[in-house]
Structure 1
Amino acid sequence: MLSAVPDPFHDRRRSTMTAHARPDSDGISRRSFARLLAAGGSAALLGRTGLAFERPAPLPQTPAAPNEAFWRSVREQFLMPTDISVMNAANLCPSSLPVIEAMYENTKDIDRDASFQNRGKMGAGKVNTRKILAEYLHTTPEQIVITRNTSEANNLVSSGVVLTADDEVIIFNQNHPSNNLAWKEKAKRYGFTVTELEVVSPHPGPDYYIDLVRRSITARTKLLAITHHTNTVGDLFPAKEICQVARERGVLSLVDGAQSFGLMDVDLSDMQPDFYTGSAHKWPCGPKETGVLFVNERAHDAIWGTMFSAGRGDVGISRKLEGFGQRDEPAIIAFGEALKFQQQIGMKTIQARSQELAQSLMEQVSAIDGVTLSTSPDPTRSVAVVVFAIDGLDGRGLFNALYDNEKIGVTGRGNGLRISPHFYNLHSEIDRTVAAIKRYKATGV
């Protein structure tokens, strides 16, 4: 049974048991798999079956003004226990039950019958995910490549665009290594020049970066590679306007969307980059090792394929770039389920919620003596990645103490922290985190 079209989590009408819903010889059904994970992970799965787990109510329709009760119902769609607060979305997000169930159901289906005949239907699931991705990003399936992550997508661009010793690539110094180091390493091989633009902190405003790019482009510039929303300090850059400057100067544009895909309502028909990349395992809350590369149709002839195998994509640019060999098709199908789950809530609603949590966090930590906020509190200059330093506290020690003693998962940064809340977090988790930081500021770690 292919789970891509009917939602396996919200379709509760189970009057009969299908072949794929029957328990295995050890008594584990698709539904009990998620219950077992919640009840104790792999030990529960391997040790015994039938452990009780109260299945949450279906996700309600998003109200015009979502309150905390609504967001609590959203959190219940994830396996996270109530005493654990994970606010590390810039690195890795949990998957919701619809995603976990789609992964399990389709993986079990293949492992029961790995024949070509049975696996054939998985292709329809991949086609469906490509369509969902296109709708999600406001573009068309012909411009979508399903990759394994942002790093792979960025490297498909840096390896596929022809560059010579006469060419220049402009990058931002706070780009991810896959959109920074990758260009420098390839420049050693092919001889092109890499010009690195400095990101200013605190964020000087969007006009600064638009003017910086305009002044930096030369007759040699072939491609401009930027980040939409940084993982370093949470800066939000004016991607649409920067891409327009590049387009007017005949320069290709690559926007690394690892920190905007799944967090913001990204409209590629409006942004108009030549290339845009993203990962499912971060803000979209999707399966690991799935991602996306958007290639604007005007840039299809500007990029060469660099990976080749027996299989290709089914439409448009994927026929050129999606030569990855055997894929984890259940993960690709579950990728679509993750996007559908977010679409059900609404991307504008998700962005507003995540930004609301981040704003509350910044307001509260800024009031603590000795805290230096690196992230701009201006909502036009940041979204949901918050970075700050704390005088007198070791960031690594605080990072460990928060998890070991408080069950709060964040990221350590030097003598401070990076906290990136998402729509599944609650205001009470923000308040609890700030209270813990205040205690450790007073007592040490």
Structure 2
Amino acid sequence: MNPRRQFLRKMTEFGTAFAVSPFLQSSQGDKLLAAFERTQAQRLAEATTDEDFWNQIQQAYTVSANVINLNNGGVCPQPKVVQEAVEHYNRLSNQAPSYYMWRILDAGREPLRRKLADLLGASPDEIAINRNSSEGLETIIFGLRLRAGDEVVLTKQDYPNMINAYKQREHRDGIKLKWLSFDLPLENDDEIVQTFVNAFTEKTKVVHITHMINWNGQIMPVKKIADAAHERGIEVVVDSAHTFAHLNYSIEDLGCDYWATSLHKWLCAPFGSGMLYVKKEKIANLYPLFAAPDPESDDIRKFENLGTRSFAIEQAIGHAVNFFHMIGAERKEARLHYLKNYWAEKAQEFPGVSIGTSLHRDYGCAIGLLQIEGHDPVDVSSWLFRNYKLHTVGIKWDNINGVRITPNVYTTPRDLDVLVDAIREYPV
């Protein structure tokens, strides 16, 4: 058998994902599969900078050739195979919606649950499929059995939707919020952990930890904080919107009780797809956000009572998982870290420029924060787009100010050279 056909057959062991992809049957798809085959035995350092391989990855996306998208921290585009899968399942659904959606595609949720659970390193009985991190985390926040006077420890650098959800519980139920604030970036686990520990009291019931701060890409030492919390009987909620399929880890590495992510971020799954994790022994005591027949059931599926949803979006998630496996978790993380440091190391040498993100692999990865002294980040972001068609986002949140710059696997060093040139030419 042709080696590329052998590799394609190996890939289909992850499921039937590629069977509906015209792209993978095309000459460009054939080149992509050949690139995957060629690089299977590469060492990590070699694979990280193999630009021929990553150029083939770029061709697997439909990103603009005229706008350099460096705001993947907001939402990531889908590779062609995922877009094609959404279109395929949507056409199928429209042939006879109630039949194909509820009797055919709905049956695909359990294989998908197993696929996602395997990727996270969890039991399928601990994984619920929903629409985004906010929905998953608000399921947790509003489902926790907190009473007046119970304390929750969180930070001012957490995501706004989560902050507002806790504030609503504070307003409605009389819980007490204990706010921490960090001057980022930080490269000291002990300092971070001790700040959390100093806030814990006998009344603390929950600690909320953002695995990667979305504003600047700071990675927090979740496991160490979680261990300290559990020693004191405190439950641990983790927001991993930006780390799933970005960093190479399993749920055991975090030691948390509750966790959620957006699959349309770094997994590059369809827009409006997410995942919730609840530790098995915690499920029964957590109320669902959308009413279930038995709110105290220990079945993770009680969190999936969303009513009619897009089964096309849901089923296409599996194709994103397959594409992720083709790249490989370790290789993807290494590439993303390389790309961030590629531009950041050059930019920080310019007068008045600093980087508000750690360049160390333990504390940062793809997301980087550009800071130009004396200049408003929104103005800088606008200038970058107006003059170089670099799509970024200006961040002004609490004590974090800068331009968030986030490449992805389809970003090339040539794109980042444009960014570096633009930063050099910025009128300071």
TM-score by length of 2: 0.87
> Aligned residue for 1:284?
267
Q: Distance in 1 between matches of 2:317 and 2:212?
A: 22
Pairing partner for 1:256 from 239, 252, 273: 239
Distance 2:410 2:291 in 1: 39
Partner amino acid, structure 1, of 2:342: S
Change (3 A) 1:209 1:394: closer
Contact 2:17 2:318 in 1 (8 A): no
Gaps of 5+ in 2: 1-11
Q: How does 1:107-256 map to 2 (within 5 A)?
A: 107-116=90-99, 119-256=102-239
Q: Residues of 1 paired with 2:247 and 2:219: CA distance?
A: 11
For 1:417, the equivalent position in structure 2 comes to: 403
Give the drift of 1:115.
3.8
Give the match for residue 364 of structure 2.
Answer: 382
Cα shift at 1:31:
4.3
Contact 2:246 2:332 in 1 (8 A): yes
Comparing both structures, which one devotes a greater share of its residues to helix? 2
Deviation at 1:354, TM superposition (A): 0.3
Q: What is the distance in 2 between the residues matched to 1:187 and 1:112?
A: 47
Residue in 2 that maps onto 1:399: 381
Q: 1: CA distance between counterparts of 2:289 and 2:62?
A: 39
Q: 1:129 to 1:117 in 2, by over 3 A?
A: closer
Residues 310 and 191 from structure 1, CA distance in 2 versus in 1: closer, same or farther, beyond 3 angstroms? closer
| Counterpart Cα distance in 2 of 1:409 and 1:145 | 33
For normalisation by structure 1, the TM-score amounts to: 0.84
User: CA-to-partner distance for each residue in 1:239-279, whole Å, 9 max, x for gaps?
Assistant: 11111111221111011001111211131023221011100
Matched, 1:308 2:291: yes
Question: What secondary structure, in the 3-state scheme, does the structure 1 residue paired with 2:351 have?
Answer: coil
Letter in 2 for 1:85: I
| Distance in 1 (alpha carbons) for counterparts of 2:101 and 2:122 | 31
- Counterpart of 2:325 (choices 332, 343, 356) is 343
- 3-state DSSP class of the match of 1:349? helix
Contact 1:145–1:317, Cα closer than 8 Å, also in 2: no
Which residue is 1:47 aligned to? none
Which residue is equivalent to 2:32?
A: 58
Residue 18 of structure 1 is matched in structure 2 by none
Pair 1:368 & 2:350 matched: yes
Shift of 1:116: 2.1
CA pair 156-240 structure 1, distance change in 2 beyond 3 A? same
- Tell me what 2:9 maps to: none
What SS is found at the alignment partner of 2:276? strand
2-structure distance, mates of 1:358, 1:381: 12
Q: Which runs of 5+ in 1 are unaligned?
A: 12-20, 22-29, 36-51
What amino acid sits opposite 1:150 in the alignment?
Answer: S
Matched, 1:6 2:39: no
Query: Over aligned residue pairs, what C-alpha RMSD do you find?
Result: 2.6
- 1:212 and 1:93 mapped to 2: Cα distance? 33
Q: Which residue of 2 aligns with 1:26?
A: none
Structure 1 CA distance, aligned partners of 2:100 and 2:80?
Answer: 28
